Amino acid sequence: MAKPPKTAAKPASKPRKKAPAKKRLKPAEQARIAEIFARFEAQESDPRTELDYASPFTLVVAVALSAQATDVSVNKATARLFEVADTPQKMLALGEAGLKPFISSIGLFNMKAKNVIALSRILIEQYGGEVPLERDKLQALPGIGRKTASVVLNELRIEPAIAVDTHVFRVSHRLELSRGKTPDAVEADLMAIVPDPLKTRAHHWLILHGRYTCVARRPRCEDCVVGDLCPSRRLFVRD
């Protein structure tokens, strides 16, 4: 008796990335966290990056240049740069040697120039000169890591993400929103506790709070909108 033909095995499907599990918090802690973000929202309902940009491409370039640099220094450089090269085509025509003088005041400018020219070429050759707004494609571009992709997607309100820099890391610990020891651990904690409707804005609230109020050395607790909700206040203020 002839054996039935073997059927080809179906390729295993890639497991979907799970959404961050909601933390089990006591009602009082849930209320505290909700009040923290409610106050941030009351203070600034639509926070945005302080990097200057006019398109997804200029945003990607600005965020890539901002690694280990201040937004002020990047804006100063891109104000001149984007006047002559605000598209992948113009950037590629400018070339690596032409780009460097515009960004030489920014740290790691040699590597950043190389990456910006390389990603401009890829955008032209593979995406018709448009920035792909999917995480995996963004992260595949030279110089665009997970954090940069998160900032871009979140700023454009495409994907909720909370990129963790030094400011977000510091504020999250002082407010005891996280005790994570790495940026990824802090991000996971924040994504699990921040109310869904606020996730696209939480990154900006935390970074701006850390930049202007909850600064590293001498936090301005007297001006803090969430001071009475901060467990770390007692470390800096004697009532």
Residues acting as catalytic residues: 147, 165
Q: What is the largest CA-CA distance in the chain?
A: 91
* Alpha carbon distance 80, 99 (integer Å): 11
* Alpha carbon distance 53, 169 (integer Å): 25
In the structure encoding, which two tokens stand for residue 202, read together? 């939480």
* Alpha carbon distance 196, 82 (integer Å): 35
| 225 contacts 197 by C-beta, under 8 angstroms | no
Handedness of CA 78, 84, 86, 88 (dihedral sign): negative
- Residue 183's nearest CA partner among 156, 150, 140, 141 is 150
Distances 30 to 25, 57, 70, 175 between C-alpha atoms, Å = 6, 38, 34, 13
| 96 contacts 117 by C-beta, under 8 angstroms | yes
